[in-house]
Amino acid sequence: MCGRFSLGVSPEDLWDFFGLDQAPDSVPRYNVAPSTSAIAIREIAGVRRADPLRWGLIPHWAKDARVGYSTINARAETVAIKPAFRDAFRRRRCLIPADGFYEWQPRPGSKVKQPYFISRTDGAPLAMAGLWERWRGPVGEVVESCAVIVTAANRLLRPIHDRMPVLLDPEHFAAWLDPANDDTQALLALLRPYSSEPLRVVPVSRRVNDPRHDDAALRVPLEAPESA
């Protein structure tokens, strides 16, 4: 799964990397957590834009917004058929930018898990494949929300966790974001584990466990995993 990530990239770098029509109004976030705001790249009316969406997808047919607490991730294997995600997969795909994400590894003989930070070795942004939805509540409130698509872990991450977010390269951005693209098989073919070679995994402080901590020090590598 993907339950926390970091976005310490400048608005100008996001504008350049994702080919946005204008630089987004965003600030660095180092511990983005479910139910908080996350930047999502969408194509709407031919414009590629970045908008803050609530992380935790609320299907348009949901009776209660609280369903979003259990829909932060969509599994690649079932995203096209699961009721909570299938409509968004057909028409409302997005990219969720990050400069790294966190995963937790169980420690033998301990209830304490060790967090790791996964990023590109060259420091380039990551583009997590996502979905978005617009939900209208019973009294007319409108909430736009998103989910990260996850797939099987690659060789590098497998010792830590069995899942990882789907990461897309720039050559696939246009096809993924195009709401008119209805080639389901071609879209599903993109939802595969990312190559291990461009990524690095480093142990980081357990301070990241608390979403109230949100600073660049969370991503600083430890010399060794913390003791239990």
Residues 6+ apart with CB under 8 A from 227: none
Residue 108 is predicted with a pLDDT of: 83
What is the predicted pLDDT for the residue at 169? 97
Please state, in angstroms and as integers, the Cα–Cα distance from residue 188 to each residue in 55, 73, 81, 192, following that order: 22, 16, 11, 8
Torsions phi, psi of 11, nearest 5?
-55, -35
For the ranges 105-119, 121-135, 141-155, 204-218, which has the lowest average pLDDT? Answer: 105-119
For 121-139, the pLDDT digits (tens) are 999 999 999 999 999 988 8
- Could you give the count of Cα atoms lying within 13 Å of 177 in the half-sphere of its Cβ? 26
- Which pLDDT score is estimated for 167? 98
Return mean pLDDT, the chain.
95
Q: What is the mean pLDDT of residues 209-222?
A: 96
Catalytic pick among 43, 94, 103, 146: 103
Return the domain boundaries, the chain.
5-210
Within 10 A of 214 (CB to CB), how many other CB atoms are there?
Answer: 17
Sign of the four-CA dihedral 34, 35, 36, 37? positive
**pLDDT tens track for 22-70:** 888 888 999 999 999 999 999 999 999 999 999 999 999 998 888 888 9
What is the structure's pLDDT at 28? 94
Is residue 228 predicted with pLDDT exceeding 70? Answer: no
pLDDT at 81 over 70: yes
Contact (Cβ atoms closer than 8 angstroms) between residue 6 and residue 117: yes
Q: Is the CB of residue 128 less than 8 Å from the CB of residue 83?
A: no
Q: Is residue 94 flagged as an active site residue?
A: no
**Full strand arrangement of the beta sheet holding 100-106:** 29-32, 5-7, 100-106, 113-120, 199-203
User: Tokens 């996001």 identify what position?
Assistant: 14
pLDDT number for residue 155: 97
Contacts of 167 (CB under 8 A, 6+ apart): 126, 127, 128, 129, 194
Residue range 194-223: mean pLDDT, rounded: 96
* Mean local confidence (pLDDT), 175-192: 97
Mean of pLDDT values over 104-110: 88
Of 110-114, 165-169, 190-194, 195-199, which gets the smallest average pLDDT?
A: 110-114
pLDDT at 1: 74
3-class SS of residue 129: strand
pLDDT band at residue 109, thresholds of 50, 70 and 90? confident
Closest listed residue to residue 197, CA positions, set 163, 226, 167: 167
Q: Would you say 94 and 146 are in contact if contact means Cβ atoms under 8 Å apart? A: yes
**Domain 5-210 annotated CATH 3.90.1680.10:** yes
Query: Is residue 227 pLDDT above 80, yes or no?
Result: no
